[in-house]
Amino acid sequence: MRNMVDLFSGLGGASEAFVQAGWRVHRFDNNRLFSDPESKYFVPRTIWADLELMRMDFDEPIEFLWASPPCYEFSNAHSAPRGIAGREGRLDEYKPDMTLLRATIKQIEELKPKYWCIENVIGSIRYFEPYLGKPKVIAGPYVLWGNFPPIVCQVPKDYSKRIAGDKHRHSPIRSNHRAKVPMWLSQQMLDGITYQKQLTEWI
């Protein structure tokens, strides 16, 4: 069976297409609401974990790893730290915490997945580039770095990330609703990994 790891999995959007395709998906998040079967916010296959401390060990190789580190410190939103710094003219001196990105890179180095992707918002580009280089794909509000086959990344014309969050404005996990990776992006990544061959596979 093909294995996927979904880090900072939240509501599980990034890995949903893989679940439906029959992959063995391992979701990790530090919000216990998603890993508690008694919680109304329970997301199947989710394990509570502190990424900075955890060590993962799997019986079979990981074919694909997806990670969506929290975007709050990189967001251009009005109330986010970076948005405030920009309005106050302090953007050049603003330094977000890069701990979780570094922890993600460490997990990738240790697990050695065949493919991997790190996703975040547009405002993260200047902070992620020193670690990851130029983004591989920008699809609407989603910026992707990594080692994965070419993907279509067609953003639906009626798609709005803001609407997804506003529907849940009073929810304790509103930020997770707004950050949830949409099914169309999960499916396009799955299609790329499933149908695209690397040069070495043709030899």
Q: What is the pLDDT of residue 199?
A: 47
Stretch among 21-30, 36-45, 164-173, 176-185 having the lowest mean pLDDT: 164-173
The mean pLDDT value for 154-169 works out to: 68
Collapse the DSSP code of 29 into the 3-class scheme (helix H, G, I; strand E, B; otherwise coil) and give the result: strand
Q: What is the pLDDT of residue 143?
A: 96
How many distinct structural domains can be found in the chain? 1
| pLDDT single digits (tens) 100-115 | 999 999 999 999 999 9
The mean pLDDT value for 16-21 works out to: 98
Domain that holds residue 137: 3-202
Q: What is the mean pLDDT of the chain?
A: 88
Q: What is the pLDDT of residue 63?
A: 96
Q: What is the pLDDT of residue 174?
A: 87
pLDDT higher than threshold 90 for residue 22:
yes
| 81 backbone dihedrals φ, ψ, rounded to 5° | -55, -40
What does the alpha-carbon distance between residue 35 and residue 26 come to, in Å, rounded to a whole number?
12
Cβ atoms of 176 and 10 closer than 8 Å: yes
CATH number of the domain where residue 198 is located: 3.40.50
What does the alpha-carbon distance between residue 63 and residue 15 come to, in Å, rounded to a whole number?
13
pLDDT higher than threshold 90 for residue 192:
yes
Stretch among 83-87, 91-95, 149-153, 156-160 having the lowest mean pLDDT: 156-160
What does the alpha-carbon distance between residue 36 and residue 110 come to, in Å, rounded to a whole number?
27
Total-model pTM: 0.89
| pLDDT single digits (tens) 32-69 | 999 999 999 999 999 998 877 677 778 899 999 999 99
Give the max Cα distance, the chain: 56
